[in-house]
C-alpha cells in the first residue's frame, strides 16, 4: 500500500469514503485530503477559539472555466466552505435546504443552501461557477460580535474581543503537501483528517439531494451527516 493525499472531495459517495478510511486504518497508512482552504483559514487563528457562531454566511463565486464540470458545484467548490463550517460548528446537522441552477449541463452550476445544526447554528452558503465576478468570503456572527473575512482582498473585519492574525499571502497547496509529508515522515497528525473530509462530503451530498428535490433534503440524506462524526 501507499500513503495518499487525495484531492477534495475525499470521494463522491459515503460508501467510497468509508472504504478508503477503513483501508487506511487497517494498513496503518496516512490518508489525508486536500482541503487547502483549511490552511488559509487556520492561519488567522480563528480555529484556535472555542466560541461557536450563532449564524454563518459563506459565499464563493467565480466565472465559468469548464474545470470540475464532471461534478456539481457543491462537490467542486462549496465543499471548501462546508469543511470550514464544520470546523467552526461542532454540532450535528439537523436539516438541509437548497436551491440550484444548471446552465452547462445537468449538474448544478449555482447553489444556495441552508444547513441547520442541532445546536441552533444556521449556515447559509451560496456558490456559483457562472458568476461575472470572483467573490469568496465568510461572515460569522457571535454573541459578542462579528467576524467577516474577504478571502479575495484578504481583509478581515473583527468586532469580537478575540484577536485574529492577518490573512497572509501563503501557499495553501504547498502547506497541504507539507502537512502530508510530515504525517508520513514524522508521524505527525495531518491537519485534515479523513473523518473530517467525510463529514464535509456527507453534508455536500445532502445539499445536492435537497437541490435535486428543489427544496428540502430527505431525512435519509442528511442522516448520513449526523453519522459522520
How many CB atoms sit inside 10 A of residue 107's CB? 18
One digit per residue, the tens of pLDDT, for the chain of length 229 reads 899 999 999 999 999 999 999 999 999 999 999 999 999 888 899 999 899 999 999 999 999 988 878 899 999 999 999 999 999 999 899 999 999 999 998 899 999 999 999 999 999 999 999 999 999 999 999 999 999 999 999 999 999 999 999 988 789 999 999 999 999 999 999 999 999 999 999 999 999 999 988 766 555 455 555 555 4
Assigned C-alpha cell, 6 = 487525495
CA 199 to chain centre: 9
**Domains along the sequence of the chain with CATH:** 4-164+171-227 (3.30.360.10)
Q: Containing H/E element for 116? A: strand 110-117
Q: State residue 12's pLDDT score.
A: 93
Cα angle 187-188-194, degrees, rounded to a multiple of 5: 100
Find out whether 131 and 64 touch, Cβ atoms under 8 Å. no
Tell me the angle at which helices 14-27 and 194-212 cross, rounded to the nearest 10 degrees.
Answer: 170
Amino acid at each position: 500500500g501507499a500513503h495518499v493525499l487525495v484531492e477534495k472531495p475525499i470521494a463522491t459517495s459515503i460508501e467510497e469514503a468509508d472504504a478508503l478510511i477503513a483501508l487506511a486504518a487497517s494498513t496503518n497508512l496516512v490518508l489525508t485530503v486536500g482541503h487547502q482552504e483549511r490552511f488559509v483559514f487556520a492561519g488567522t487563528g480563528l480555529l484556535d477559539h472555542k466560541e461557536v457562531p450563532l449564524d454563518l454566511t459563506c459565499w464563493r463565486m467565480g466565472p465559468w472555466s469548464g474545470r470540475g464540470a464532471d461534478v456539481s458545484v457543491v462537490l467542486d467548490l462549496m465543499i471548501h466552505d462546508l469543511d470550514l463550517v464544520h470546523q467552526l460548528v461542532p454540532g450535528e446537522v439537523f436539516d438541509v435546504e437548497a436551491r440550484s441552477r444548471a446552465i452547462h449541463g445537468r449538474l448544478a452550476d449555482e447553489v444556495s443552501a441552508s444547513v441547520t445544526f442541532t445546536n441552533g447554528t444556521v449556515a447559509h452558503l451560496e456558490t456559483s461557477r457562472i458568476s461575472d465576478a470572483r467573490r469568496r468570503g465568510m461572515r460569522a456572527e457571535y454573541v459578542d460580535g462579528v467576524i467577516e473575512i474577504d478571502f479575495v482582498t484578504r481583509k478581515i473585519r473583527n468586532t469580537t474581543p478575540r484577536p485574529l492574525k492577518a490573512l497572509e499571502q501563503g501557499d495553501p497547496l504547498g502547506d497541504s503537501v507539507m502537512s502530508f509529508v510530515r504525517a508520513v515522515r514524522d508521524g505527525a497528525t495531518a491537519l485534515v483528517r479523513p473523518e473530517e473530509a467525510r463529514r464535509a462530503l456527507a453534508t455536500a451530498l445532502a445539499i445536492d439531494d435537497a437541490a435535486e428535490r428543489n427544496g428540502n433534503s430527505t431525512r435519509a440524506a442528511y442522516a448520513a451527516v449526523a453519522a459522520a462524526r
